[in-house]
Amino acid sequence: MLTIIQRVTQAKVTVNSVDIGVINQGIMALLAIEKNDTTKLADRLLERIVNYRIFADADDKMNLSLREIQGGLLLVPQFTLAADTDRGNRPSFASAAPPEMGRELFDYILLKAADIHPGAQFGQFGADMQVSLINDGPVTFTLRCQEKNSS
């Protein structure tokens, strides 16, 4: 599971000219679900997102988490993050989860995020979305959660 998190002053997702997810200060996360992802990985990634210390404390150091500042959380499904771009001029999406699995896991993430971070907002799986944001800093990080190899 892969996500790009961005510290924002505001962000929104629009589908068919309707704003379906809107936040002010917080984190906007683009989320890719890959073939081998599980609910266990989703739980771990969500905990990392809400606890990742990317907000300034009184000394202007990145020491505070989304949970600590009680900021907004906007999760947007983004299967193109799973693309293999190592060769050629066209991305391969072989590592992305099939649509049914991706939708099922994203629906799980929606429920879990709403539980651990009330007021969380969401994009729509499979929709043509317009995403706008004001990146604060800019501050952007890539987070990946994957099963550890036992070798």
Q: Which are the catalytic amino acids?
A: 78-80
How many C-alpha atoms does 139 have within 13 Å on its Cβ side?
16
Spatial neighbors of 22 by CB under 8 A, at least 6 apart, are: 10, 11, 12, 13, 74, 121
Interior angle at CA 49, CA 43 and CA 54, nearest 5: 160
**Residue 82, token pair as written in the block:** 């799973």
Sequence-separated (6 or more) residues with CB below 8 Å from residue 134: 8, 9, 10, 11
The closest alpha carbon to 52, from 146, 124, 144, 148, belongs to: 144
